């Protein structure tokens, strides 16, 4: 096995600046979209008093969930002592921080009063799971930062395992917290389930790894570094397991909801009569986002990089669809003011809410992805996050 050697990405190249410019542009457009929304008020969006959280939240929660999942690779290496993942641990950490930042930017910019961030950071209501999330997010940044430092600063390498353990536990709590933002809402049938928190954890494994894999393959391709099959195959096999696990949770979630009469309505809505939500569920989330990637990853095409990349993209799209169905579909379905009764009012009681995402909302969400990529791109050029080579001789501990 060759010695592992980390090296910054060469920053002073045309290619690097093009990527920087592209991601910067996406981020900038996102910020401008947010400014447009804030300046006018949310009436310019598709959001309303019925669909309260819209497309920005789909992106924000995707990025936050993916952030904790991206850290998994590092955890496997430090906590579970799998040495073959060690070369990837640094990238895993910095991607986690970048994804979380991107998600938080979107969440912040969609607030009604983003200018009052200082209020959110100084006035806490500790009964609120939201407050805990604010602390968990900031804590995550700090802990992963320390974790990265122990990995990258040789004298402190002996602390890596401890820091990695802390980060691992923290990320589990964090995703539980993110899932609980919805799980604690007794008012809405779609969210009133203890399964949401563990489901969000397994979703984070899948989304985070898909994003990680794409970033890894992309960065190695464009820097012409060597990325051996050993690493890619391990990762894609792991990814397949996660996708299957998410599928399992989705099935359990819906089956248990079908079983209890008071949750049957929302489940039938999503599965059969929900229009766009039913379409997104079956076609994008289940077929394109789960079954096709499973076939691509485990089928005869499994060794083809393009196919692994395609599978990762599909998993991300499927994940966005899944969150869209959970977040927006869950709100579109009417709340039961009088269970079993037919209700109507001037405030859209008893009817399925109409929601059409507006362009600025979508651009804001995409801007979060831009911020993530921008941060990660700058990071790998500024510090030694990526191994100079991940050829099989370097990566495979059993290789010669």
Partner 1 sequence: MTINNENKNNGETASSAESSINLEASRRNFIFGSVAAAGLTVAPGMMLYQTANARSLSDFSLKDGASSKVRWGMLVNTTKEVDWNKCVEACNKEHGLGNEKDSRDDQKTQYIRVVDVKNKGTGYSMSLPVMCQHCENAPCVDVCPTGASMKRADGIVLVDRHRCIGCRYCMMACPYKARSFVHEVLTDQTENTPRGKGCVESCNMCVSRIDNGQEPACVEASEGAIIFGDLNDPETPIAKILAKHGGKQIRADLKLNPGVHYQGI
CB nearer to partner 1: pick between 36 and 222: 36
Nearest distance, CB of residue 122 and partner 1, angstroms? 9
What DSSP state is assigned to residue 157? G
Nearby residues of 326 by Cβ (< 8 Å), 6 or more positions away = 182, 190, 191
Least distance to partner 1, CB of residue 46, Å: 9
Q: Closer CB to partner 1, residue 16 or residue 59?
A: 59
> Whole-number minimum distance, CB 90 to partner 1, in Å?
33
Closest approach, Cβ 243 to partner 1, in A, equals 29
- In whole angstroms, what is the distance from residue 253 CA to residue 258 CA? 9
CB of 276 to partner 1, least distance (A): 17
Q: Which is nearer to partner 1, 122 or 158 (CB)?
A: 122
Of 190 and 307, which has the nearer Cβ to partner 1? 190
Least Cβ distance, residue 203 to partner 1 (angstroms): 19
Q: Is residue 340 exposed (0-12), middle (13-18) or buried (19+ Cβ within 10 Å)?
A: exposed
Distance CA 389, CA 220 (A): 9
Q: 33 or 314, CB closer to partner 1?
A: 33
Q: Which is nearer to partner 1, 159 or 353 (CB)?
A: 353
Please state the length of the chain: 400
| Residue 138 Cβ vs partner 1, minimum distance, rounded to whole Å | 13
Half-sphere exposure of 189 (CA within 13 A, CB side): 23
**Residue 300 or 340: which CB sits closer to partner 1?**
340
Helix (H) or strand (E) holding 294: helix 292-298
Token look-up 């196919």 returns 307
Interface residues with partner 1 (CB under 8 A) are: 38, 40-43, 47-50, 52-53, 111-114, 116-117, 119-120, 123-125, 127-131, 134, 181, 184-188, 331, 335-349, 353-354
Which of these, 121, 113, 102, lies nearest to 56 by C-alpha position?
102
- Count of CB atoms within 10 A of residue 342's CB? 7
**What residues have CB less than 8 Å from 121, skipping those under 6 apart?**
134
């Amino acid at each position: 096995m060759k010695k592992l050697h980390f090296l910054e990405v060469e920053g002073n190249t045309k290619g690097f600046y093009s990527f920087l410019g592209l991601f910067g542009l996406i981020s900038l457009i996102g910020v401008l979209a947010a400014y447009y929304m804030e300046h006018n008020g949310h009436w310019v969006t598709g959001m309303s008093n019925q669909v309260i959280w819209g497309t920005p939240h789909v992106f924000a929660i995707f990025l936050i969930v993916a952030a904790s999942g991206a850290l998994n690779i590092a955890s496997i290496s430090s906590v579970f002592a799998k040495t073959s993942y060690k070369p990837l641990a640094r990238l895993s950490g910095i991607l986690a921080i970048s994804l979380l930042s991107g998600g938080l930017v979107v969440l912040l910019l969609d607030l009604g009063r983003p200018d009052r961030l200082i209020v959110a950071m100084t006035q806490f209501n500790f009964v609120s799971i939201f407050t805990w999330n604010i602390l968990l997010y900031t804590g995550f940044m700090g802990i992963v930062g320390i974790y990265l430092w122990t990995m990258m600063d040789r004298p402190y390498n002996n602390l890596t395992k401890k820091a990695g353990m802390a980060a691992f536990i923290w990320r589990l709590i964090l995703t539980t917290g993110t899932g609980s933002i919805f799980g604690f809402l007794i008012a809405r049938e779609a969210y009133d389930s203890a399964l949401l928190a563990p489901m969000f954890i397994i979703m984070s494994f899948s989304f985070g790894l898909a994003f990680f894999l794409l970033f890894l393959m992309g960065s190695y391709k464009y820097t012409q570094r060597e990325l051996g099959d050993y690493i890619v195959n391990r990762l894609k096999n792991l990814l397949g397991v996660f996708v299957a696990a998410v599928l399992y949770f989705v099935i359990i979630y819906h089956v248990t909801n079908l079983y209890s009469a008071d949750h049957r309505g929302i489940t039938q809505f999503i599965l059969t009569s929900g229009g766009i939500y039913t379409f997104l569920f079956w076609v994008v989330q289940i077929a394109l986002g789960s079954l096709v990637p499973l076939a691509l990853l485990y089928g005869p095409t499994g060794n083809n990089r393009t196919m692994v990349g395609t599978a990762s993209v599909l998993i991300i799209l499927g994940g966005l669809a899944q969150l869209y169905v959970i977040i927006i579909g869950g709100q579109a379905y009417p709340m039961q003011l009088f269970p079993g009764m037919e209700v109507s009012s001037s405030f859209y009681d008893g009817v399925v809410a109409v929601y059409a995402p507006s362009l600025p909302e979508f651009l804001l969400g995409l801007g979060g992805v831009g911020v993530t990529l921008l941060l990660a791109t700058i990071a790998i050029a500024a510090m030694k996050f990526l191994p100079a080579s991940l050829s099989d001789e370097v990566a495979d501990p059993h290789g010669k």
